[in-house]
Chains A and B, each alone.
Chain A
Amino acid sequence: MRYLCLLYVAEDTAPAPGTPESDEVRGANVAATGAMARAGVLVDSAPLHPVRSATTLRVREGETLLTDGPFAELKEQLGGYYLLECADLDEALRWAATIPAARSGSVEVRPVMKVEGRT
């Protein structure tokens, strides 16, 4: 089964790029990702640019409406994701607990729906 782990962290508390703290966070992420890849559970993973870069789009009556910003303003923002291939929720939760963002923010684990005719 595939599980999408959505990483929510408060952007304003994240260390600025270039600082030793930021390097440490990156190192921790590389280590976690590496372990997942070696175990063969990692399908894909990436950090996202901050929400200030987000554009939210709606199509209403044929017209495309754009909003500058995220879908919802939250205390913690979606900052990255991991797509994992695991046997069951227990395995997915075990790996999710190794994601550094779980310690500073939260990780939402969502089972990915299987769509007919696709893998």
Chain B
Amino acid sequence: MATVTRLVGDLEVAEDAVQEACAAAVVKWRTGGIPANPGAWLVGTARHKALDWQRREARRLLKEEAAVRERQGAYKPSRVGPVADDQLALIFLCCHPALDVAVQVALTLRSVCGLTTGEIAAVFLTSEATMAQRLVRAKRKIREAGIPFRVPRAEALADRLSAVLRVVYLVFTEGHRASASKELVRPELCEEAIRLARVLRDLLPMEPEVTGLLALLLLVDARRPGRIDATGGLVLLEDQDRRLWDHAKIAEGATLIEHALSARRGGPYQIQAAIAACHSTAPSAAATDWDEIAALYGELVRYEPTPVVEANRAIAVAMVEGPAAGLVILDAMAGDPRLARWPPLQVGRADLLSRLGRHSEAVEAYRAALSMEPPQVERAFITSRIRQLTAPESGGEL
């Protein structure tokens, strides 16, 4: 797909051509057998289909214009560069900051990951027609505005790379905490994000933030088997059966983050990966290095001064210095209008309040979280906590 885009110079034409080539392959390979180099066969066929299409288009324009297009489209085998560069250029194209972030994510899922428009529409909770429209508009902007198909130059790489990493991260978080669906996770999105991060790391092995992101995704995803119980309910990190975790993934992630940090060029993904490593390598919640985690969140705030990071720091502080210390931080944040619709803040407050024995306030905070309509599985979890806290025989003991 990436190579065809470079050859024909247009994402939309390339996409249609690749689709047609794949359809042709299904027919042809069944009768004639699979060719020696299937990848090259597909690229060649897609290229011809794209050229056919462009020729038909060109005929509608002035004659000399058509001639120019033919010349440009003439077969030049020497221009076929390394496939890796094409793929990287395609990722940078889809994640260009001149496109809206949501569109960057959708376009990456479509053109790099090969998800269908219907699948992407489901991720974004929108209709297939709307999503198709959005993708067409994005591709049109790429063409009309002259967004280039190439890997950015060294001086712009860091900036552009952070946009790419953000898209990969968003794909993962949408899978990890699926706001759109009934299920708590959409494993296929988590796996796509990890696959993308691996591709990026293969292409840019010297960028510690890329390695940091891959490590982060592996370390968090490794806990997926313990996050959901047999009934589909959410299990808190502290209550998870750590034997269910994917220890091969944890080992890989821990090695990667160590390697990334040794470059001594820190960044937000490396810090988050280091935090995830503290959790994922700890034998139990109590034996977790909360001191280190609190310090790492303090570090992360410098890169991402967001209330979400601050809330997480509060939880870590609560583990080190006691729930009251964490509650001071969370209460100070509760007035922030950006957090008015963010259920985890109230869930965090409720948890600390109940540990302090302030049960009625805890229930109040849980109810506030419920009123913000969190995903269904989280809703079930909150409801069960309220039931525990209000059950007379339990005395509110958790």
Q: Does A76 contact B (CB under 8 A)?
A: no
A58-97 Cβ-contact flags toward B at 8 Å (1 or 0): 0000000000000000000000000000111110110000
Question: With A and B bound together, what is the CA distance between A88 and B145 in angstroms?
Answer: 8
Provide a sorted-by-A list of 5 A–B residue pairs whose CB atoms are within 8 angstroms.
Answer: A87-B146, A89-B146, A89-B147, A90-B147, A116-B61
- Contact of A87 (CB < 8 Å), options: B61, B145, B148: B148
Q: Are B98 and A88 in contact (CB under 8 A)?
A: no
A92-119 Cβ-contact flags toward B at 8 Å (1 or 0): 1100000000000000010101001100
A3 partner residues in chain B, CB cutoff 8 A: 146
Q: Are A89 and B145 in contact (CB under 8 A)?
A: yes
Question: With A and B bound together, what is the CA distance between A3 and B61 in angstroms?
Answer: 23
Q: Does B364 contact A (CB under 8 A)?
A: no
A89 partner residues in chain B, CB cutoff 8 A: 96, 98, 145-148
Closest to A93 in B: B98
Closest to B61 in A: A116
Question: With A and B bound together, what is the CA distance between A28 and B85 in angstroms?
Answer: 39
Other A-B pairs, 19, CB within 8 Å; known A87-B146, A89-B147: A1-B146, A3-B146, A86-B146, A87-B148, A88-B148, A89-B96, A89-B98, A89-B145, A89-B146, A89-B148, A90-B147, A90-B152, A90-B156, A111-B144, A111-B145, A113-B144, A116-B61, A116-B62, A116-B65
B91-118 Cβ-contact flags toward A at 8 Å (1 or 0): 0000010100000000000000000000
B144 partner residues in chain A, CB cutoff 8 A: 111, 113
Question: With A and B bound together, what is the CA distance between A104 and B118 in angstroms?
Answer: 43
- Write the nearest CB–CB distance from B347 to chain A, whole angstroms: 39
Question: With A and B bound together, what is the CA distance between A88 and B98 in angstroms?
Answer: 12
- Write the nearest CB–CB distance from A53 to chain B, whole angstroms: 31
A1 partner residues in chain B, CB cutoff 8 A: 146
- Contact of A90 (CB < 8 Å), options: B61, B62, B65, B148: B148
B313-348 Cβ-contact flags toward A at 8 Å (1 or 0): 000000000000000000000000000000000000
Closest to B62 in A: A116
Closest to A2 in B: B146
Q: Are A88 and B61 in contact (CB under 8 A)?
A: no
Closest to B149 in A: A88
A88 partner residues in chain B, CB cutoff 8 A: 146-148
- Nearest 4 A/B pairs, CB to CB: A88-B148, A88-B146, A1-B146, A89-B146
- Write the nearest CB–CB distance from B68 to chain A, whole angstroms: 12
- Contact of A111 (CB < 8 Å), options: B61, B96, B146: B146
Question: With A and B bound together, what is the CA distance between A95 and B337 in angstroms?
Answer: 37
- Write the nearest CB–CB distance from A114 to chain B, whole angstroms: 10
B98 partner residues in chain A, CB cutoff 8 A: 89, 93
B146 partner residues in chain A, CB cutoff 8 A: 1, 3, 86-89, 92, 111
Question: With A and B bound together, what is the CA distance between A89 and B92 in angstroms?
Answer: 13
- Write the nearest CB–CB distance from B114 to chain A, whole angstroms: 26
Closest to B97 in A: A93
B41-76 Cβ-contact flags toward A at 8 Å (1 or 0): 000000000000000000001100100000000000
Question: With A and B bound together, what is the CA distance between A87 and B147 in angstroms?
Answer: 10
Question: With A and B bound together, what is the CA distance between A109 and B98 in angstroms?
Answer: 10
A111 partner residues in chain B, CB cutoff 8 A: 144-146
Closest to B143 in A: A111
Question: With A and B bound together, what is the CA distance between A117 and B62 in angstroms?
Answer: 9
A86 partner residues in chain B, CB cutoff 8 A: 146
Q: Which of A1-29 contact B (CB under 8 A)?
A: 1, 3
- Write the nearest CB–CB distance from A39 to chain B, whole angstroms: 15
Question: With A and B bound together, what is the CA distance between A93 and B146 in angstroms?
Answer: 11
- Write the nearest CB–CB distance from A111 to chain B, whole angstroms: 5
A113 partner residues in chain B, CB cutoff 8 A: 144
Closest to A91 in B: B148
Q: Which of B128-167 contact A (CB under 8 A)?
A: 144-148, 152, 156
